Amino acid sequence: SGCFAPLYELVPLIEPARRVRELHLTLIRNENAYYCCVAQLMACMALPLPTAPVIYLAGDSHSLSPGWRTVQSRGQRFLISPVLVTGLKVWHLRDESDFFPKANFHAAVKSIPDGANVIFAFGEIDCREGLLVAVERGRYTDLQEGIETVIQIYVSSMRELVKRRKFKILVHPVPPVLPQTQATVSKFNAALKARLEREDMLYYLDFYDGLLTEDGSFNSAYALDGTHMHPSYLELLADVLPPLEA
């Protein structure tokens, strides 16, 4: 359920030391990035957490922004409980993979109760550092083939969880936070939406266009730190939630 009260005391103690060191250039740069993200999110988190039915949100670092926030849909309030899987590409979920993020994914998913409402929010790392590199290395003839391959892995993994764990799975679009990857993200989300429209077990949360301005760039109103979205974007997510059992 989270233990947040000590964080408000820890952040002021850590900041004086962190500010005078270039931790983003060290071996703990990832830990520093997570800390900075959490510290910013704490500034807009209301405590104590409300008692409400839970929607789990499994994702990479983008699961932190919506974590422990509430969404109101169809007269029902839900609390989003984050299930963090660091560094996972969808590509890691293929059957033959034995890379540690896959084991981390399965360990994290075990913490979710059978029959739960679960939002899956993966694919950003594939769009940022996986797909284009794979095309350059000749694994795929073009980006579209790579996207279709990764989405098939994603869908197969989620379908298996629906059958085995009875999850109601909702699929989060990849956030378009980085200008350098936005073209890839847009193609990925378009293909993901089209694929999920053919699925009866999975539901695409179709709010991607709401994250964009008229010229197709990311709306800075939903920006947090240049890498993640601000929790305010949940207003868009709430508008497209299907009926859920509490």
Mean pLDDT of 158-187: 97
Rounded to whole angstroms, the Cα distance separating 38 from 7 reads 9
16-72 residue pLDDT tens: 988 888 888 899 888 988 999 999 998 888 888 889 999 999 999 999 999 999 999
Domain ranges within the chain, ordered by starting residue: 1-48, 50-240
| Cis preceding-peptide flag for 48 (omega within 30 of 0) | yes
86-97 residue pLDDT tens: 999 999 999 999
pTM above threshold 0.85? yes
Rounded to whole angstroms, the Cα distance separating 186 from 190 reads 6
Q: What is the dihedral of CA 215, 221, 226, 229, to 10 degrees?
A: -110
Instruction: Just give the CATH number of 50-240.
Output: 3.40.50.1110
Rounded to whole angstroms, the Cα distance separating 225 from 68 reads 18
